[in-house]
Amino acid sequence: MTSDALPEDEAPGKSHRRLGAGRSTPTPRDGRHRAATAERPPVSPPPAAAGRTLSLRTPAFWMVLVLVGVGAWRIGLIFADATRLYPRASAVAFVLFALYAVPFILVVREVDYLEREPVVLLATALAWGGLVATAMANVGNTAAVEILAKEFSPDFAARWGPALVGPTVEETLKSLGVVVIVLLARRHVNSVVDGFVYGALVGLGFQVVEDFIYSINGVVLAGDGDSITPVVATFLVRGFLGGLWSHTLFTALVGAGVGYAVVREERPLRIRVGVAVLAYLGAWTLHFVWNSPLLGDGFGIGVAGLIGALLLKGIPGFVAVLVMLHVARRHEAGYYLGRLNGIEPILVAPEEMDALVTARGRTAARKQAAAQAGLRADHAVRKLQRAQSRLAVEISRCGHASYYEAARNPNPRSAALERCVRDILSARAKLVSLGVPVAARYGREQRSPLGLWSVLLAALGLVVPGLSVVALLLVGIGTLRARRQRLSPDNRLGVATSIGVLATALWVVVYLLHGFNGG
Amino acid sequence: MRYILAGHHRLRVKVGIAVLRPNLYASLAVLAVVGAIAIGLPAINNALPSGRSVAAGDRLTVGRGVAVSAPPSAVLDVTKTQPALNRLVMSVRSVRVVVEAVRYDGSLPGLSDKLRRKIQSNPGYQASQHDHPTRTDAGVPGLQGSYSTPGRIGTYAVFTHDGVGVEVSMAGAGTDVRRDNDALLDLVRSVRFGAA
């Protein structure tokens, strides 16, 4: 349902939303509330007096320290060997995969927008994935594949080893990364989204270091000295053809399951453990399908078939995890932004609440402000949104349902609340001076035939080269038109952009690899 | 008063232990799983034999349609033989034999240079200056040379046919290489292309 389908008096900005009121767990948008059946909200914010993030007194801290040290030593040896033998290839691989991690980190930080996780825990998750899980998996994978070769045959091990051993050893080690975060700082795993974020970072660390090692293995196998060609080929294959539905996604799924088990304390233990185990099995299955030799011949119809097989193996899991994340984020947003119900519009205007819910909404509000008053307005809206989100989280930390309750009752977070309010007022004053009193996104959403056509062409572009570029052109035209009319762009343009960019990247990679293989 | 304070202290310690105990047990459980993967699996692997005896004359598939005949006393290394990489590894007493099939469209001397470079990239490995012509039983021409490693001597050979190159390298203790020289040279000559 789009906002222009709402009655006039229910359209965004016309009425004051009541988010998270009572015991229900509503979705945050106006007119889309859904009563929840849970007795407790799906989020458990940390207590007001949170204390240090990590405690030296917990045994888990020392265990992590030792394992990260061992992992760093083992991975360091691999890096040192690679750098000594193949300095140029190692440097290129290091730079490429370090840069490759940046967009993933930005996306994860965007997912983690409302209640930001402590940097030290995010770094620990990354280190577990990149150092502990990779180092141990390196040893465990080799041993397990060799056991398969001994017990069955080298052929069986070569064909099914990666599909059976990879998920079992790697998903187990990576899942432990999320468990370790819970052991280190359980109070910072407050929602399913938090589990997703930690899991994604464990997986990202693993993915980046593993890809580096694969690159160097490629250089060794090529037997062509310090050549960067195998590095670039590995980057294209593992980074693009398999990068989106790889370790980051798998472990994010497990993390979400662990997050559920930790947060939903009101549910029976068997249900919580069951959900975590199901998430693990889901990740295992996605990993198994991806590594399995099934459809390895691409339906026997050449490059298009291979691309089709890759998409068939990767996209269903990718979409399923994204849908799950979407639901979890809406629950989280509903909970936190519900604390802002009934607040003075000067602190959070109803239209701003609507924009705060999603990354798209926040970006649209910033762009709207930038279109009206330039980059300074964009910057001010960013600060305003950040402070409003912090305020929502601080209210929930006080254990109160609304800002006024929290402000009336002195508590350890009073100073933090005041700081948020000061930051909001400061950003608001700046916006008012720039002539943008409210940081809302565009008004009605544009509905245009371009939306439908661009999605169709982008989808066809997955199997027919060139169509995705046409789809992206249509997206550009549609977005420009919407801006001229001061409307939110058609939702379908966003979908078409995602599919179009993916399809274009896949075809570019295919052509580049074709070039590498001598035509 | 002192007794009361001491009692409080003991209580705090007890509460602290009670709080940390689950964390300790869970940490030990995590450590146990990591240990099972990083230490347990290699231990099981080491306990299992990696060699599988093959009868003399058995045809062993390398990959890319290439096959060789097993020499007497050959033991196939099932852990190092990697069909995905078109690589076969076996031992004849102390002599380790590696046969690899690669996609190759270049000349025979070029393939020989490539293998020599690969051999010499190992510390202490030294290949002979020149190689000499050889031929498989089926008549495919090739080049053969020798190399030495610390404490071992070896032979290498390359063949190319129909876009596929075959690299054979074998090295072991001097006494074993000399004793099994004929059998090893038979192995080199047994290389067959286009084996189904």
Cβ within 8 Å of residue A69, ≥6 positions away: none
Note the pLDDT of residue B14.
Answer: 62
User: Do residues A266 and A40 lie in contact, with contact meaning Cβ atoms separated by under 8 Å?
Assistant: yes
Whether residue A4 has pLDDT greater than 50: no
Note the pLDDT of residue B66.
Answer: 94
Residue B8 binned pLDDT confidence (cut-offs 50, 70, 90)? low
Q: Between the ranges A18-32, A271-285, B102-116, where is the mean pLDDT highest?
A: A271-285
Whether residue A388 has pLDDT greater than 60: yes
Note the pLDDT of residue A299.
Answer: 74
Torsion of CA A421, A359, A188, A181, to 10 degrees: -150
Q: Which chain A residue has its CA at the smallest distance from B116's CA? A: A223
Q: Which residues of A21-53 are buried (b: 16+ CB within 10 A; e: fewer)?
A: eeebbbbbbbeebeebeeeebbbbbbebeeeeb
- A285–chain B nearest CA distance, Å: 20
Over residues A153-167, mean pLDDT: 91
Note the pLDDT of residue A466.
Answer: 84
Torsion of CA A456, A459, A460, A464, to 10 degrees: 150
**Which chain B residues are Cβ-neighbours of A146 within 8 angstroms?**
45, 50, 78-79
Over residues B58-77, mean pLDDT: 92
Residue A516 binned pLDDT confidence (cut-offs 50, 70, 90)? low
Note the pLDDT of residue B91.
Answer: 92
Does A488 or A261 have the greater pLDDT score? A261
Whether residue A396 has pLDDT greater than 90: no
Say which amino acid occupies A87.
Answer: P
- B50–chain A nearest CA distance, Å: 6
Q: Give ipTM to 2 decimals.
A: 0.79
Over residues A187-205, mean pLDDT: 93
Whether residue A493 has pLDDT greater than 90: no
Q: Which of A77-91, A340-354, B105-119 has the lowest mean pLDDT?
A: A340-354
Whether residue A166 has pLDDT greater than 70: yes
- A412–chain B nearest CA distance, Å: 24
| A149 with B27: Cβ contact below 8 A | no
| B38 with A151: Cβ contact below 8 A | no
Q: Is A364 on the interface with B (CB under 8 A)?
A: no
Cβ-nearest to A158 among B23, B26, B82: B82
Q: Which of A71-80, A290-299, A404-413, B138-147 has the lowest mean pLDDT?
A: A404-413
**Which chain A residues are Cβ-neighbours of B26 within 8 angstroms?**
60, 179, 183
Over residues A154-178, mean pLDDT: 94
Residue A154 binned pLDDT confidence (cut-offs 50, 70, 90)? confident
Q: Which chain B residue has its CA at the smallest distance from A219's CA? A: B118
In Å, how far are A8, A37, A191 from A24, measured between CA atoms?
A: 26, 7, 16
Say which amino acid occupies B21.
Answer: R
Whether residue B6 has pLDDT greater than 80: no
Q: What whole-number percentage of chain A has pLDDT above 90? A: 34
Q: What whole-number percentage of chain A has pLDDT above 70? A: 87
Whether residue B40 has pLDDT greater than 70: yes
| B38 with A172: Cβ contact below 8 A | no
B191 closest CA partner among B51, B64, B54, B52: B64
| B34 with A169: Cβ contact below 8 A | no
User: Do residues A286 and A249 lie in contact, with contact meaning Cβ atoms separated by under 8 Å?
Assistant: yes
Residue A57 binned pLDDT confidence (cut-offs 50, 70, 90)? confident
Work out whether the CA dihedral B154, B160, B163, B164 comes out positive or negative.
negative
Whether residue A9 has pLDDT greater than 60: no
Q: Is B23 on the interface with A (CB under 8 A)?
A: yes
Q: Between the ranges A1-10, A162-171, B77-86, where is the mean pLDDT highest?
A: A162-171
d(CA B170, CA B154): 5
Residue A110 binned pLDDT confidence (cut-offs 50, 70, 90)? confident
Give the mean pLDDT of chain A: 82
**Which chain A residues are Cβ-neighbours of B84 within 8 angstroms?**
158-159
Q: How many helices (H) and strands (E) does chain B have?
A: 5, 11
d(CA B11, CA B16): 8
Q: How many helices (H) and strands (E) does chain A have?
A: 19, 0
Whether residue A188 has pLDDT greater than 70: yes
Residue B11 binned pLDDT confidence (cut-offs 50, 70, 90)? low
Cβ-nearest to B30 among A63, A147, A157: A63
- B186–chain A nearest CA distance, Å: 24
Q: Which of A29-33, A164-168, A455-459 has the lowest mean pLDDT?
A: A29-33
Note the pLDDT of residue A6.
Answer: 32
Residue A261 binned pLDDT confidence (cut-offs 50, 70, 90)? very high
Give the mean pLDDT of chain B: 87
Whether residue B19 has pLDDT greater than 60: yes
Q: Is B78 on the interface with A (CB under 8 A)?
A: yes
Whether residue A519 has pLDDT greater than 50: no
Q: Which of A222-226, A230-234, A258-262, A284-288 has the lowest mean pLDDT?
A: A222-226
Token pair in block for residue A493: 């343009």
- B74–chain A nearest CA distance, Å: 16
Token pair in block for residue B20: 């940390």
Whether residue A514 has pLDDT greater than 70: no
Q: Which chain A residue has its CA at the smallest distance from B84's CA? A: A158
Over residues A150-169, mean pLDDT: 91
Q: Is A147 on the interface with B (CB under 8 A)?
A: yes
Would you tell me which residues 149-178 of chain A have a C-beta closer than 8 angstroms to some C-beta of chain B? Answer: 149-151, 153-155, 157-159, 169, 172-173, 176
Q: Is B47 on the interface with A (CB under 8 A)?
A: no
Whether residue A34 has pLDDT greater than 60: no
Note the pLDDT of residue A183.
Answer: 94
Cβ within 8 Å of residue B111, ≥6 positions away: B104, B143, B158, B160, B165, B167
| B27 with A143: Cβ contact below 8 A | no
Q: Which of A295-309, A323-337, A350-364 has the lowest mean pLDDT?
A: A295-309
Cβ-nearest to B50 among A136, A150, A153: A150
Whether residue B156 has pLDDT greater than 90: yes
Cβ-nearest to A149 among B31, B79, B121: B79
| A158 with B24: Cβ contact below 8 A | no
User: Do residues A180 and A174 lie in contact, with contact meaning Cβ atoms separated by under 8 Å?
Assistant: no
Whether residue B89 has pLDDT greater than 50: yes
Cβ-nearest to B34 among A67, A151, A221: A67
Note the pLDDT of residue A342.
Answer: 79
Whether residue A15 has pLDDT greater than 50: no
The pTM of the full predicted model, rounded to 2 decimals, is: 0.78
